[in-house]
Amino acid sequence: MKKNIYRFFSILAVLSFTITLIAQDDLPTDYLSKEFHAGRRDALRKIMPDNSVFVVMAFPTRTFSNDVDYLYHQNPDMYYFSGYKEPHSLLVIFKEEQKGADGPSYKELIFVQKKDQRAEQWTGRRLGTEGAKEKLGFTYAYNGEDFKNAKIDFSKFDKIIFDRFPDDAGIDNRDNADLADLIEQFKKMANVPAETSKDSKYDTRLFRELTGKLREIKTPEEMDLLRKAVEISCRGQNEVMKAVHPGMSELEIQGLHEYVHKKYGAEEVGYGSIVGAGANGCVLHYMENSKTKIGNEMLLMDVGAEYHGYTADVTRTIPANGKFSREQKLIYNLVYEAQEAAFKTLKDGAKWDDATIAARDVIAEGLVKLGILKNKSEVWTYYPHGLSHHIGLDVHDRGFSRTLKKDMVITIEPGIYIPPNSNCDKKWWGIAVRIEDDALITEKGYELLSIFSPRKVEDIEKMIAEKSALDNFTVPKLKSAEKKAF
C-alpha cells in the first residue's frame, strides 16, 4: 500500500512538472538568435589580444526579503555573448582555438546550471547542457559542477580578461556549483592575485574596454528590440497624458506606465520608474513615487520599458491639470530649445562634448535672461547632470569611444530643476523639467527613435485633452479602510 501511495505522488509530481513546462512553451518568437550571440563571440575574438582568454560570469541572485528573491536578471555581458539567462553560470572564450588533450579542439566553453527536476518544479525550467547546445548553439556545454575539473591551463595565457567580481555572490551550502563556488574555483585555477591591478596578466580594465567597443555599436538585430522598447515607452507616456488629472497619485501613474509596457510585451522596466510631481521632480533619481495627489503641479515622468533585455529611456514633463502656466512654459521651452540645439550636433564623428556644450549654453543664457541666474557659470545650480549616455542592455549602457559613431544609440536629456527655497524668485520654486529622447546616430545626423510621444508644449496639451480609456474607471473604497465601531 505504501509503495502505491509513493508511486501515486511520484506520478503526480512528474505531471505537475510536465504542466509547468507546457505552460512555458508559448514564448515570444523575437528573441535574439543563437547566431547573433555566436557572432558577438566571434567579434570579441577579433579584438582580443593574442594568446588571451576571456571569462564572463553570471550575475548573483539577489534577495528581496527573507527567503524571497528578486526576479533574476542576467549579467548583460553574459547574455550578450551567450543568450543564457540563468544564474550560477560561467562562459570561457579563447582567442585561439584550443587543442583538447583527449578530444577535438574548441574555442569556447560554457558551464550552466544542472538539470534538476525537483528544483525546476519550484523555480522554473532550466536549459541544462543539452539545452545550451540545442537552443544556444554551443558545441561544448557542461554543468557548473564540472568546472573545477576542467583542464584549462590558465597559466599559459598572456592575458586573462575578466570583470570585477561581484561582492554579493552569496554561498549556498546546498549547491557546490553556485556563483560563489565558480568564482572561487576560477580564482584558484587561474591563480588570481588579491590585487589584480598590480599584475598586467589579469585585466579587468580590458574587459570593460572590449565589451564597450562592441556594445556601443548596435547591430540590426539589437535595433529591432531597442525600437520596440522605445516605442512601448512612448506609448506609456501617451496613455498617461490622456489619463492624467490632479487627483491622481504618483504611484497610480507609475502603475499606468508599467501596465502599458506589459500590455505591449515588455517584461520589465529598465530602471526604477521616476514619477515626480512638483518639487519631487527636482530629485534626479526620485523613485519613492509616494505623493498621494499630484495636484496642479508639473509632473516629471522618467520611465523606460525593457523589452527582451533592451532598455529605453524616455522622459516627459507635463502639467497635471492639462495646461502649462506661464512660468512652467518658459522653463519647459528653454529645456526644449536646449535639446534641439544638442540634436543639431549629432552625427557620425562628432564629439560627445559638442552636444553637451550646445545644450548647456542654451540653458545658461536662458536662465540668466529670466533672472534666475546672475551669470552663466552658475548653470550647474539648476542643471546638475550630464546630457547623454548610451542605452542598450543597460540603461546606462557600456561604451568606450569619445566620439559619436554610426549605429550608437544615445539619450539626449537636458533639464532644469528649481527646488523650493532656491536663490531666485519664489514663482520659479518647485518647477522641474526634463525632456529625454533616444536617438540613433547616423552617418549624416540622427534618427529620433522616441518620436512617438509629443515634446512640444502645444502637442502635449493637445494629447492631455484627448479621451482616455480610463476616464470612466473609478476605484471603489476598500472595505478594510472603513472605520468600525466597537
Catalytic residues: 67, 285, 302, 313, 385, 389, 396, 413, 417, 434, 436
Alpha carbon distance 12, 280 (integer Å): 53
CB count in 10 Å sphere of residue 219: 14
CB count in 10 Å sphere of residue 185: 20
Contact present, 219 and 211 (Cβ < 8 Å): no
> Which single residue is written with the C-alpha cell 515588455?
266
Residue 63: HSE in the Cβ half-sphere, 13 Å Cα cutoff: 8
Grid cell locating 156 = 599559459
Judged by DSSP in three states, 413 sits in coil
Contact present, 147 and 177 (Cβ < 8 Å): yes
- β-pair type (159-162, 52-57): parallel
Nearest one of 78, 43, 47, 48 to 157, comparing CA atoms: 48
> Which single residue is written with the C-alpha cell 592575458?
159
Phi, psi of 40 (to 5 degrees): -70, -35
> Residue 355: in which H helix or E strand, if any?
helix 352-369
Alpha carbon distance 217, 392 (integer Å): 10
- β-pair type (202-203, 298-303): unpaired
Grid cell locating 268 = 520589465
Grid cell locating 373 = 541666474
Check residue 154 and report its DSSP letter: G
Contact present, 111 and 182 (Cβ < 8 Å): yes
Alpha carbon distance 303, 282 (integer Å): 16
Alpha carbon distance 43, 423 (integer Å): 53
Contact present, 109 and 142 (Cβ < 8 Å): yes
Number of H helices, E strands in the chain: 12, 19
Residue 142's identity, in one-letter code, is: Y
Grid cell locating 195 = 590585487
243 forms beta bridges with: none
What is the largest distance, in Å, between two alpha-carbon atoms of the chain?
90
